[in-house]
Every structure is written in structure tokens, then in C-alpha cells.
Amino acid sequence: MALATFGAGCFWGVEYFFRQVNGVISATSGYMGGDETLIRYEEVKSGTTGHAEVVQVEYDESVVSYNDLLAVFWSNHNPTTLNQQGEDIGHQYRSVVFFHSEYQKELAQQSKAELIECGKWGNRIVVTEILVAQEFFAAEDFHQNYIEKNGLPSCHISF
């Protein structure tokens, strides 16, 4: 099993999309990339901790590749809006790939370059950060599998 961590706005929708992928063992909403070591949702939401809302994905590499996960990441958010996805605004909603190995780092950088090269976003700048994974803090139980538990439609960002 391997880990991958992605931030693409509100973690509810990001988690939902990764849960649909064959080979994903678990997708856990949480926080990464900040300065504090004991955090809660309200603190992260305030934008004062430096954390991003992320989803940590545990996956079976014999079933799904890291490149497949990157494709899900890129296709389910707008990587050209700095610190914003839809109506969620702030550094905590930034587009970010947290890599767990040099291999993941290389693939993330390559996929970002390919996304830019394909021209899908025109002359808009892809602002997605690619950073080394830090300590992961699982979000409160209330946030896990939120969309399905509450019978909500996905909060997919339309482009």
C-alpha cells in the first residue's frame, strides 16, 4: 500500500472523488502543511494555521497508479485559482500535491508540466504547489465521508 496526499479546495468533494477510484483503500479528509501541531477544523478554516484542507489517499499500487491519482486530482478542481476553489477562499483551499517520495515528486512535476503544455487552461497560470509531505492530521469524524453520509451531491467545481 502507498500514500498520496492532495489539496484541491474543500476536502469533502476531493475525498468523494478519490473514494470512487478502484484500488483506493481509503481516502481521509485532513490537514497538512501548517505550523501548528494540534489543530481543529475551525482553526484551519480561519486560515491562521497555514494548513491546507487535504485528502490522504491509501492505495494499492498493483491496481491504481500514482499517475491515475494525479489525473483524478487535476480533473476535479481548478488549478489556476490561487488560494481558492469556487466560493472557498483562503490559503487553506490551495491547490497542492504533497509528495511522499522523490518518485511522486517527479511524477507530480511532470504531470503539471503536461497540463500546462496541453493548453487546457489557456494562458492562465497553473498555481498548484508541489511540496514534500508533512505531518498529516485527520479531520474530525464529522468530516469523513461527509458527502455520502449526508446524501449530498458532490461539490465538484465546474469549469
Catalytic residues: 10
Length of the chain: 159
**At a CB cut-off of 8 Å and minimum separation 6, what does 24 contact?**
18, 57, 58, 59, 60, 64, 69
| 99, 132 Cβ separation under 8 angstroms | yes
Q: Retrieve residue 74's grid coordinates.
A: 487535476
CA distance 38 to 43: 10
Q: How many CB atoms lie within 10 A of CB 118?
A: 8
Q: Which residues of 55-70 are buried (b: 16+ CB within 10 A; e: fewer)?
A: bbbebeeeebebeebb
